[in-house]
Structure 1
Amino acid sequence: MRALHTSDWHIGRTFHGHSTDDHLAQVLAAIAQAVRDHHVDVVIVAGDVFDSSTPKAEAFTMLNSAVRAIRSAGAQVVLTSGNHDGPARLGHLAEFAAFGGVHVLADLRRLAVPVAVPDAHGEVLVYGIPYVHPEFLRGAFEDFDGRTHEAALSFAMDLIRDDARARVGEGARYVVASHCFASGEAGGGGREVHETTESTGRSEERDITRGGLDIVPPGVFQGPAYTALGHIHSRATLREDLRYSGAPLRFSFGELSSAKGAWLVDIGAAGLEGVEWLELPTPRRAVRLTGTLDHLLSPGVHEEDRDAWVDIVLTDDLRPRDAMRRAQEKFPHAVTLAHRPSTVAAHARETYADRTRGKSDAELIEAFLGFTRNGHGASPEEQELLADSLQALDAKEATR
């Protein structure tokens, strides 16, 4: 059996306020083509299918189009819910969809009910663990009283191992999809890895970090021929049989260095036979450009980045006026801009009284501008305007 492991589609997500729908549609179409080209039997989506627990109608339309194309290419589809998804909405009509080869595994009470994928050696069982917060699991199973994600995933994996043995015996070949934060160390702090730099701030995203209780050690996932993980947006290999595929599309500048694609996983008669990385297309690159505004806008500089998502870091000593507007004339998809001057003026540590004692109004204004403008005071035009304004004030005071 050959599986394609992907995750974190985040249908409906924006890139700094700009829609990614068209780009994601291209990538999902490439996944369907990969199914055809590489003779994939099942596509596993390990959580965060949608970016919101209340997705818009257009998000469902995109999902329907994607799974229809994958099914037409010849593969079954297994989707699990992640912390962004609303399990009830994602799982709506799941029983009906299963008759068409699309299996939505979003019900915690059925996490030990697999999808059987036939191959030349019998069947490979595919289990999906929906995003499993301990509180959710306690609501679904009266005999679970754990308080950590490690305890919750351990409980779920025990159920799955027992079910696989009951169905096939000790030699059962099975695959598990899980949406969680697996790490080499138990305990410790940290937010979701893919959002340490760029946070969505969406109210529907559940906080899954409470004193490091979200971290799950790799040892929990013992037994499956392969475990398809979701939740981290960069690909990662924890063991040969335990991997993150990452998101298929860049959703923030925090993902600049991460490769985008999916894993092709081969399960043979004795278990895992091989895993191969499959690159997916990048409809629009994301780049970070650093320099002075005049340099970045110079002819011939970064011409290859005109169509990319652009994060601009300006190093001008003084922030240029209308910097974003001017930048977007060359880079129409520039979406963020920061000012980090290469030279930072030093300011004496004086009290307010010391800084103002004995100074005229013009000197105070000049000092203030120098402080707020990284050592640059008023321009000649501004000096002339300030002088006229101060003279007018003096004249007004004289008539009182």
Structure 2
Amino acid sequence: MRILHTSDWHLGRSFHREGMLAHQAVYLDHLLEVVESERVDLVVVSGDVYDRALPGVDAVLLADDALVRLAASRASVVLTSGNHDSARRLGFSSRLIDAAGVHIRTDAARCGTPVLLGDEHGPVAVYGLPYLDPTALVEPWGLPRRSHEAALGHAMTQVRADLARRPSDTRSVVLAHAFVAGAAPSDSERDISVGGVSRVPTDVFAGVDYAALGHLHGAHTLTESIRYSGSPLAYSFSEAGHRKGSWLVELDAGGLRGAHFLEAPVPRRVARLRGDLETLLADPGLADHEGSWVEATLTDTARPGRAMERLQRRFPHTLVLRFDGPAHRLGAAPAQATHARTDRDIALEFMTDMRGGPPSASETTLLTRAVDACCDDTDVDSLLGEAGG
């Protein structure tokens, strides 16, 4: 059996306010092409189909289109809910949709009930575990502690109990949405540590042939049989070095035969650039990033004027601008600390510290007018000056 493992589509997500739905549609087209070209028998989607519990209409339409096309393809589908999804909304009509070969699993009570498939070597039991919130499950499941390890451990006990009742040649696949120890998170994943310890050890998945994990956005191989596919697109600049795609997993008569990573198309790359402004604008080695989404960190001693505007002339998709020049000490020197300074003095000192030099005459006039316009009492500065003298 050939299995395509994907997760964390986050349909409807934006990237620093830039819409990504068209890019997500490109990935789903790619996924359908892989199903045919690689003769995939089963597609597993390990949670976070949507980016939020109440997805926008366009995101729902894209998901609907993808699932209809998958239902018409050669592959069966098992899809679970993640911590970003609304389990009830995603699972609506799931019992009806099962008949089309698309199996949506969002109910924690069904963790021990597999989707049963098969190939020439015998049966394959696919257990779709939705995101398991330990706070919601600690009482109904009688968990010994409120943690993700306890919740997932309880679910896997149900999985192993069901497997023990099945023929000995039954192979098993588990979908889970969790933070499993041994993998590094990125900036774009929502913290799931509230309500208990977030990390889950790999030995929780002992006894199954393949664990298809979701939640973390980087592709990770924790063991040969426990892997994260990662998200199909970069959703934060911390993912600039990620390879995006999905795992093509093969099961034979003995269980897991192997897995290899299939890279997905990248409609627009993300890049982190660092240096002084003039270097970033002139360096020919950065030409490859002129079409990328860019996070630029400037190291100039003094903050250059119109930095974002100038960067966007070369890198039109610059979305984030940071400054990491030499640290400046704001305020008066210790020897002068006892002498009162006017609001005008503070504003001018701030400009001097930030720019590495005093403001021009016109800037000084503008700052003075701005400070005076903000003062509730126009006599405050002069009174402070007299008190300090």
Above 0.5 in TM-score? yes
- Write the distance in 2 (CA, Å) between the matches of 1:45 and 1:362: 60
The partner residue of 1:226 within 198, 210, 228 is: 210
| Alignment partner, residue 257 of structure 1 | 241
Q: What secondary structure, in the 3-state scheme, does the structure 2 residue paired with 1:27 have?
A: helix
CA RMSD in angstroms comes to 3.0
Structure 1 counterpart SS, 2:243: coil
TM-score, with length taken from structure 1: 0.84
Query: Which whole-Å deviations, capped at 9, do the CAs of 1:250-301 have from their partners, x for residues lacking one?
Result: 0010111111111111111111111111111111000112223333333846
Where does residue 376 of structure 1 map in the other structure?
357
Task: Quote the Cα distance in structure 2 between the aligned partners of 1:361 and 1:93.
Answer: 65
TM superposition score normalised by structure 2: 0.87
| Aligned-pair CA distance for 1:344 | 4.1
1:215 Cα deviation after fit: 1.1
Cα displacement (A) at 1:347: 7.1
Aligned partner letter, 1:43: V
Count of aligned pairs between the two proteins? 374
C-alpha distance in 1 between matches for 2:254 and 2:340:
87
Residues 1:165 and 1:365: Cα distance change in structure 2 (over 3 Å): closer
Distance 1:52 1:345 in 2: 41
Contact 1:129–1:179 under 8 Å retained in 2: yes
- The alignment partner of 1:283 has SS state of coil
CA contact (8 A) 2:8 2:215 kept: yes
Q: Distance in 2 between matches of 1:106 and 1:298?
A: 52
Distance apart, 1:363 and its partner CA: 7.4
1:270-309 matches, cutoff 5 A: 270-298=254-282, 300=284, 302-309=286-293
Could you tell me which residue of structure 1 aligns to residue 253 of structure 2?
269
**Using a 3 Å threshold, how does the CA distance of structure 1 residues 369 and 77 change in structure 2: closer, same or farther?**
same
Aligned position for 1:350: 333
Moved more, 8-17 or 314-323: 314-323
Once structures 1 and 2 are overlaid, which stretch shifts more, 172-181 or 330-339? 330-339
- Paired residue for 1:193, among 185, 191, 205? 185
Task: Give the secondary structure class of the aligned counterpart of 1:302.
Answer: helix
The Cα of 1:361 is off from its aligned counterpart by: 9.9
In 2, the alpha carbon distance for the partners of 1:108 and 1:179 equals 12
TM-superposed CA distance for 1:70, in Å, is: 2.8
Q: C-alpha displacement at 1:140, in angstroms?
A: 5.0
User: Where do residues 117-132 of structure 1 align in structure 2 (5 Å cutoff)?
Assistant: 117-132=117-132
Aligned residues of 1:46 and 1:230 also touching (Cα < 8 A): yes
1:172 aligns with 2:170: yes
* TM-superposition CA deviations, 1:352-394 (whole Å, max 9, x none): x6157499999776544323x15322236546878999xxx9x
Specify every segment of 5 or more residues in structure 1 that has no aligned partner in the other structure, as ranges.
186-191, 200-204
- State the distance in 1 between where 2:283 and 2:362 align: 29
1:170-214 Cα deviation digits (max 9, x unpaired): x431100000011059xxxxxx9233xx57xxxxx6x52148612
Cα contact 1:109–1:140 (8 A) shared by 2: no
Q: In 1, Cα distance between the equivalents of 2:342 and 2:155?
A: 74
**Identity, % of aligned positions:** 40
Following the alignment from structure 1 to structure 2, what is the Cα–Cα distance between the partners of residues 167 and 362? 81
**Corresponding residue number in structure 2 for 1:183:** 181
Quick check: 1:310–1:333 contact (8 Å CA) kept in 2? yes
**In the alignment, is the contact (CA less than 8 A) between 2:304 and 2:355 conserved in 1?**
no
1:5–1:368: structure 2 CA closer, same or farther, 3 Å change rule?
closer
Gaps of 5+ in 2: 371-377, 383-389
What is the CA–CA distance in structure 1 between the aligned matches of 2:146 and 2:174, rounded to whole Å? 22
For residue 25 of structure 1, what is the amino acid of its counterpart?
A: A
Aligned pairs (5 A) from 1:1-400: 1-138=1-138, 141=141, 143-169=142-168, 171-184=169-182, 193-195=185-187, 198=188, 208-210=192-194, 213-298=197-282, 300=284, 302-341=286-325, 343-345=326-328, 350-351=333-334, 354-355=336-337, 357=339, 367-371=349-353, 373=354, 375-379=356-360, 381-382=362-363
- What is aligned with 1:189? none
Distance 1:39 1:140, change over 3 A: farther
Deviation of 1:74 (Å): 1.1
Q: How far 1:320 moved relative to its partner?
A: 2.4
Q: Do the aligned partners of 2:134 and 2:195 also contact (CA within 8 Å) in 1?
A: no
Task: Name the CA distance, whole Å, in 2 between partners of 1:174 and 1:250.
Answer: 30
- 1:382/1:275 CA distance change after superposition, 3 Å: same
Return the offset for 1:244: 0.7
Q: Could you say if the C-alpha distance between residues 355 and 22 of structure 1 is closer, same or farther in structure 2, counting changes exceeding 3 Å?
A: same
Describe the superposition over 1:217-249 as per-residue Cα deviations: whole angstroms up to 9, x where unpaired: 111100110000111100111111011111111
Over 3 Å counting, the alpha-carbon distance change for 1:366 and 1:134 in structure 2 is closer
